[in-house]
Amino acid sequence: MPSLEVSGVSKRYPGFELQPVSFSVEAGEVFAVLGLNGAGKSTLLRTIAGTVLPDAGTVGICGRNRRPGRADPRLSVVLDGGRSLYWKMSVAENIDYFGALKGASARSRRARRDEVLLRAGLADKGDSLVGTLSRGMQQRLVLAIAVMCEPRVLLLDEPTLGVDLVHERLILQAIETLRDRGCAVVLTSHQLDFIERLATRALVLEGGRSKEPQALGELRDLMGEQVLEVELEHTPSGALIAQLCAMGVSVDGRSLRADASTTSLYSVLDAVRPAAIVSCTVGRASLRNAMEHMAQKEAA
Ligand SMILES: Nc1ncnc2c1ncn2[C@@H]1O[C@H](COP(=O)(O)OP(=O)(O)OP(=O)(O)O)[C@@H](O)[C@H]1O
């Protein structure tokens, strides 16, 4: 039985429609929801969380339908960063409050407090008011609280927003720990390298519409297995851009990119000669390549 089962969930706002979405996530799986700004990622996560009522569809958690508007101890969400915390309470009081809300006893909350502070990288901030923390610190605290509740399903909307490189690693480790304990994680992020390190499958939203979820490897293959990238010193002329496009090369400012299985690197280098080249690589396609390819298709 999947830990999370989303069936036909839809939501309409004036000027935007999240069309029916269905997918399931198994215990111990990290599932990504990808898309450009305004594609509907947060709307989807909010309807799954129950903070926004869907127009249609159901959400099952470990085999039981979630009842909208009711807190569910099996589900933790990190949707609005620090905005979901109480700013006039201290860090320790917030940890205690959310632990109590999830039904943890006073004893286990006390025992967990130091662990949560450590996990959030906030060991010396227990007595600080949440309103005095930086945005990245608040984001880390929300995630550490969500992890403390040992959820069966965790929804994360841009968990690394405003978080520095060192603490991004802490967040990555926290998600990996939960995943390894059997939690099903649904994650959105514009940081595609972060997604690539964690997720195995993804649902791509484009203007509120989605296709079947795909394995990350299948998504990368949209660009071909190998991608060639050439960075020029100067932006190419209009005539050269037209010539490159006719060869199947996409041009974004000074960056040229093409599927290496259909376009040879030498033909690209011949076409741009004698322009100065800053870098030139042929390598395995990344998720970023695939998403850029999709974005260019959408803009065309
Ligand atoms: N409460 C609301 N009322 C009206 N429209 C809304 C509401 N919330 C979201 N929308 C609209 O729904 C669309 C999708 O927004 P959403 O926040 O889900 O996108 P997103 O993919 O998460 O974008 P981003 O990457 O920028 O966070 C947008 O056009 C937005 O304006």
Mean predicted lDDT score pLDDT of the chain:
89
Residue 117 inside a domain? The answer is yes
Which residue among 9, 12, 42, 204 has the greatest number of ligand 1 atoms within 8 angstroms of its CB, and so is best to mutate? 42
Ligand 1 atom at minimum distance from 15 CA:
29
User: What is the residue-wise DSSP string for 42-103?
Assistant: HHHHHHHHTSS--SEEEEEETTEEPPTTS--TTEEEE-SGGGGS-TTSBHHHHHHHHHHHTT
* Residue range 25-52, pLDDT digits in tens: 999 999 999 998 999 999 999 999 988 9
Q: By C-alpha distance, which of 224, 296, 227 is closest to 268? A: 227
Q: Is 86 in the pocket of ligand 1 (CB under 6 A)?
A: no
On whether both 24 and 130 belong to a single domain, the answer is yes
On whether both 232 and 211 belong to a single domain, the answer is no
Nearest CA owner, ligand 1 atom 9? 43
Structural contact between residues 240 and 272, judged by C-beta atoms closer than 8 angstroms: yes
185, 215, 245 - which closes a domain: 215
Identify the residue whose tokens are 């090369």. 249
Residue 300 inside a domain? The answer is no
Question: Is this structure's pTM higher than 0.80?
Answer: yes
On whether both 206 and 234 belong to a single domain, the answer is no
Instruction: Give burial (CB, 10 Å; 0-12/13-18/19+) of 285.
Output: buried
Residue 292 inside a domain? The answer is no
Q: Check which CATH number belongs to the domain holding 100 and give it.
A: 3.40.50.300
Interface predicted TM-score (ipTM): 0.97
* Residue range 50-107, pLDDT digits in tens: 889 999 999 999 999 988 677 788 888 888 766 778 889 999 999 999 888 877 788 8
**Total domain count, the chain:** 2
Residue 15 sits in which domain range? 4-215
Nearest CA owner, ligand 1 atom 13? 38
On whether both 107 and 161 belong to a single domain, the answer is yes
